[in-house]
Amino acid sequence: TTTVRVSPAVLGFTAVPHSLADVAVVPQGYSVTVMTRLGDPLTAATPAYANDGTDTDFANRIGDHHDALHFFGLSATGTPDVNSSTRGLMVQNHENITEQYLHVNGPTTVGGARPMAEALKEIECHGVSVVEYVDAGNRKWTYKQDSTFNRRITPNTPMSFHGPAAGSSYLVTAYSNDGKAGRGTINNCANGVTGWNTNLTCEENYAGYFRRDASDNALRTPRELASLQRNGITSTTGNNRWSTASTTDDRFTRWNATISSATAPATADFRYEPNQFGWVVEIDPFNPKSTPRKRTALGRFGHEGAFVRIATGQKLGVYMGDDSRGEYLYKFVSTATWAEADANASDRLAMGDKYLDAGILYVAKFNANGTGTWMPLVYSPTFPVRPASGTYPAYTFESQADICVNTRFAADALGATPMDRPEWTVGNPVTGEIYLTLTNSNNSFRPVNGTDAANPRSYNDPRGASNTAQTGNPNGHIVRLREDGDTTSALTFKWDIYLFGADSTDADPVNVNISGLTTANDFSSPDGAYFSRSTNPAGQINPVMWIETDDGALTDRTNCMLLAAIPGRVGDGGAVTITNTNGGTGTQATIVGAKATAANLRRFLVGPVQCEITGIDMTPDGRTLFVGIQHPGESGATATPSSHWPYTQDGSTPAANVRPRSALIAITKNDGGIIAL
C-alpha cells in the first residue's frame, strides 16, 4: 500500500465552549454514541444491568471508572488486523469505583465491618475489560455481548511475574511461595501498546488498598519499613475498608493480620503482597485464556502509563511516568533490537519476554539549559546508597530485584528530577518526540522557592488560607523531549515546555497565563495524551495531538475536557521568562510559535458533570474516536446523584434518583470524515 502524506494537518472544527451541562458536548457536525457502560453484561447469560445497587457478578460485566483504552483491530477470522476499522477488541482499564452507586443504599457496614459481598463486588469492578465491538455499517458501533473474546481481568485473575524481580524473596506471599505467581491487577490507569498486538496496563495507586496498622511496624525490618513508607503503603484501613470484611481474601482485607511474627509460616504470610503491585502488566487480548505477565524490568512505582516507541532498526523505548507529587519520568530500553517480523508473532506474550524482560531502566534528570540525561538503574555493588532523609534511614541496594521493587529509592539515589506529578507519556508518531503531562502540584511539595526549569511554576495566593487549593502549580503543564540522535537508546535528550495550563478568565494570581490561552482552549491539569494514529491523515506529517484533563482548578467554570493540538518540535518556541509576583521565578518556557492559538489548540469535547476524560484511541482510518468518560457524578449521594449521565446524553431528563455510569463513547463526524480535520 502507498501511504498518502498530507501536510500540514489543520484543526477543522469549531471549538467547544466551556460547559457545566450533564452531557458530553462535541463540535457541530459530530455525534456521540454511548457504548459500554458500567455493569453492561459481557456474556450471553449475564442479566442486563439494573443500576439500582442490586447487580452482582462484575467479573462478567464492564467494570467501573473507564480509563485508558486501545482498539485492537480484528480480522474476519479472529486474528489481529491492525488495519481493521470495523471490528476490534477494546482493551480498557477500570481504575477505581464510585462506591456510593454500587449498592442499594450505598456502602454499608455490619457491626463496623463491610459485608464480604459488597467488598467482592467492589474488587471485581476494578481491573481491565477486553470487549469485541463491531461497526454494523456507517459507524453504528455496538458491542458483542456473547463474543468469545470478551474477558474481565480483575484483582483476582491469576498472573505471572517476569524479569529481574520474578522469583525473588520480595514477591513471595502465601499465594506464591516461589514469588513467580501473582493474583490480579488493581488501579489500572493509563496503558501502552506493544508492536506485537498486546496491551500494557499500568498499576497506579495500588498502595492505598492495603491496610497496615501500627502492630505491623514491629514485624518489619528497617529496610521493609522504609520501602512501605516510600511507596505510600501506610493506610490504617485500606481503601473502601475492605480490610473489615469477613473474608476469604486476606490480601486486601486482613492482609497482615494473620502474621503472628516475622517468621510466620509462608502459608499465612501476606507481608509482601503490596510488592506484587505497582507494575506494568502485559495482556494478550486475542487469547482470553492467556495469563497476563507482570514485567518487573519496567520498575515498580505509581505507574501511570507506558508509551512504547518502536522504530525500525532500534531498541524499544518505553516511557513511563510515576504519578505522585515529586516523582520521576522513566524510560526502559530493551536489549533486543526491533525485528519487524515479530509484529506478527503468534505467541505474543513470548515477544513480551523478548523485549520487556531484558533491558535497562533509566530515570530522567532535566537540566536547566534544556538538556537532559537518562541515568541507568542498574545494580552493582557500587550503586549509590539512597541517603537518609526525613523519616527514611539510608537504603543500600542488594540486587537488581531490589532496584526493580524499590525503584523510587533507586531513582532518589541517582538524583533524578522530581516533577509536578507525571501523568501520561505519548510519542509523536512522525518525529518520535515524547510528551509528558505534568498534571499539577501544590505548595507543600513545590514551594515558590522550590521550582526548577522543568517545573518552573509555583505560586502563593496572597488572599490567604481560604485559597490554599490555589497554590503551587494548580493548572499543570506539558513537557516534551527529543532524544539525541532521535534514537530510543539515547542517554541524553533536549527538552522544553510545550504548554502551560491556565484559567484564562480568572484574575486569581495563580492563573498566570503563559501560553496565552483563551476561553476556546484554556484547560487545567492535563492528564491523558494521545496522537492520532499515523495510519490516518490526522496522524501524518504534522499530526493531531489530543490532551485530556482531570481538573480541580477549572471545574468551577467548566467540566473536564478533551483538546486537540497541532504540535511543533522541541525548541521551536521562544523562551519566556516567568515572573512570579509572589516571590518565585522560573525560566525555560516555550511553546509552539511562542503561544497557543485558536489554530493550533482547540477544545474538542467537554464531558458531563464531575467526570474525568480518560482513555482515547481512534480506528486506524481516523473516522471514529473512542473516549473514556470516568466517574460522572463522583461527588453525588446514592439517592440523589449529582449526574445522571449517560441517560442525559440524548437530551432527556431522567428521574432524580437515576445513577450515573462511567462509559465509553464513540465520536464520529456526521459526514463520515476524519476526526478533527
Collapsing DSSP to helix, strand or coil, 657 comes out as coil
Residue nearest to Ca ion (CB): 550
Q: How far is the CB of 449 from ligand FEO (least distance, A)?
A: 26
Closest distance of CB 591 from Ca ion, Å? 21
Q: Which does 412 bind (CB under 5 to 8 A by kind): ligand FEO, Ca ion, none?
A: none
Least distance between ligand FEO and beta carbon 527 (Å)? 6
Rounded CA separation 338/340 (Å): 6
* 18-40 residues labelled b (16+ CB within 10 A) or e (exposed): bbeebbbbbbeebebbbbbbbbb
Question: Shortest Cβ distance from residue 189 to Ca ion (Å)?
Answer: 5
- In the sheet that holds 601-606, the strands lie side by side as 526-531, 545-549, 561-565, 601-606
Near Ca ion by CB under 5 A, which window of 8-16, 385-393, 409-417, 542-550?
A: 542-550
DSSP assignment letter at 444? T
- Tell me whether residue 145 is exposed, middle or buried, using C-beta atoms within 10 angstroms of its C-beta: 0 to 12, 13 to 18, 19 or more: middle
Q: Is residue 420 close enough to count as binding ligand FEO by CB under 6 A?
A: no
Residues 22, 132, 423, 461: which binds ligand FEO (CB under 6 A)? 423
The answer to whether 674 and 11 have CB atoms below 8 angstroms apart is no
204 interface partner picked from Ca ion, ligand FEO, none, CB below 5 to 8 A per type: ligand FEO
Q: Is 550 in the site for Ca ion (CB under 5 A)?
A: yes
Which candidate, 638, 648, 581, places its Cα nearest to that of 608?
648
Q: Which is nearer to Ca ion, 206 or 409 (CB)?
A: 206
The answer to the question of residue 64 lying near ligand FEO (CB under 6 A) is no
- Choice between 135 and 423, CB closer to Ca ion: 423
Residues in the interface with Ca ion (CB under 5 A) total: 7
Does residue 24 touch ligand FEO according to CB under 6 A? no
Angle at 181 between CA 179 and CA 184, to 5 degrees: 125
Provide the mask over 634-653, with x wherever binding to ligand FEO is found by CB under 6 A and - wherever it is not.
Answer: --------------------
Task: Give yes or no for residue 548 binding Ca ion (CB under 5 A).
Answer: no
* x/- map, 419-438, Ca ion, by CB under 5 A: ----x---------------
Give the integer Cα–Cα distance in Å for 412 and 406: 10
The footprint of Ca ion on residues 8-47 (CB under 5 A) is none
Kindly write down the DSSP assignment for every residue of 469-483, as one continuous string: TS-BBTT-EEEEEEE
Residues 204-233 that bind ligand FEO (CB under 6 A): 204
User: Residues 322 to 341: which contact ligand FEO by CB under 6 A?
Assistant: 323
| Comparison of 662 and 668: residue with beta carbon closer to Ca ion | 662
Residue 230: φ, ψ to 5°: -65, -30
> Minimum CB separation from Ca ion for residue 128, in Å?
15
The continuous run of DSSP H or E covering 405 comes out as helix 400-405
User: To the nearest whole angstrom, how small is the minimum distance from the Cβ of residue 79 to Ca ion?
Assistant: 32
Contacts to Ca ion from residues 510-539, by CB under 5 A = 527
Binding of residue 189 to ligand FEO (CB under 6 A) = yes
Angle subtended by helix axes 407-414 and 222-230, to nearest 10: 90
Nearer to ligand FEO, 149 or 328 (CB): 328
Residue 216 or 420 with smaller CB distance to ligand FEO: 420
Q: How far is the CB of 556 from Ca ion (least distance, A)?
A: 5
Give the Cα separation of 163 and 141 in Å (integer). 39
Supply the minimum distance, in Å, between the C-beta of residue 277 and ligand FEO: 14
Question: Which of ligand FEO, Ca ion, none sits in contact with 249, Cβ below 5 to 8 A by type?
Answer: none
Q: How far is the CB of 68 from ligand FEO (least distance, A)?
A: 9
Is there a cis peptide before residue 646, judged by omega within 30 degrees of 0? yes
Q: Report in angstroms how near the CB of residue 525 gets to Ca ion at its nearest.
A: 6
Cα 132 from Cα 146, distance rounded (Å)? 9
Minimum distance from residue 132 beta carbon to Ca ion (Å): 26
95 binds, among ligand FEO, Ca ion, none (CB under 5 to 8 A by kind): ligand FEO
Nearest to 643 by CA among 37, 4, 30, 155: 37
- Nearer CB in complex with Ca ion: 526/567: 526
Dig out the grid coordinates for 234 from the structure: 501506610
In the 8-state DSSP scheme, what is residue 221?
-
Amino acid letter, 209: Y
97/189 with CB nearer ligand FEO: 189
C-alpha cell at 330: 522513566
Q: From start to end of 501-582, where are the E strands?
A: 526-531, 545-549, 561-565, 576-579
Minimum Å gap between C-beta 407 and ligand FEO is 17
**337 Cβ partners below 8 Å, 6+ apart?**
313, 314, 315
Tell the smallest beta-carbon distance from residue 64 to ligand FEO (Å): 13
* Region of 121-129, 139-147, 233-241, 544-552 interacting with Ca ion (CB under 5 A): 544-552
Residue 463, judged by CB atoms within 10 A of its CB (0-12, 13-18, 19+), counts as: exposed
Judged by CB under 6 A, how many residues of this single chain contact ligand FEO? Answer: 7
Query: Nearest to residue 438, comparing CAs of 480, 482, 476, 471?
Result: 476
Interacting partner of 503 out of Ca ion, ligand FEO, none (Cβ under 5 to 8 A depending on kind): Ca ion
Residues near 130 by Cβ (< 8 Å), separated by ≥ 6? 89, 90, 91, 149, 150, 151, 152, 153, 283, 285, 288
Residue with smaller CB distance to ligand FEO, 95 or 273: 95
Cα angle 575, 577, 582; round to 5: 155
CB of 448 to ligand FEO, least distance (A): 25
DSSP bridge pairs for 435: 426, 480
CB of 615 to ligand FEO, least distance (A): 11
Nearer to ligand FEO, 170 or 530 (CB): 530
| Residues near 582 by beta carbon (within 8 Å), at least 6 away in sequence | 448, 459, 460, 461, 462, 509
Told to check if 95 binds ligand FEO by CB under 6 A, we report yes
Q: Which of these ranges, 2-10, 358-366, 403-411, 547-555, lies near Ca ion under the rule CB under 5 A?
A: 547-555
Which is closer to ligand FEO, CB of 67 or CB of 483? Answer: 67
The span from the CA of 435 to the CA of 529, in Å, is 8
Which residues within the stretch 290-309 sit at the binding site for ligand FEO (CB under 6 A)? 304
Question: Near Ca ion by CB under 5 A, which window of 48-56, 290-298, 500-508, 619-627?
Answer: 500-508
Contact 236, 212 (CB under 8 A): yes
Q: What are the residues binding ligand FEO (CB under 6 A)? A: 95, 189, 204, 304, 323, 423, 527
Q: What are the residues binding Ca ion (CB under 5 A)? A: 423, 439, 503, 527, 550, 553, 556
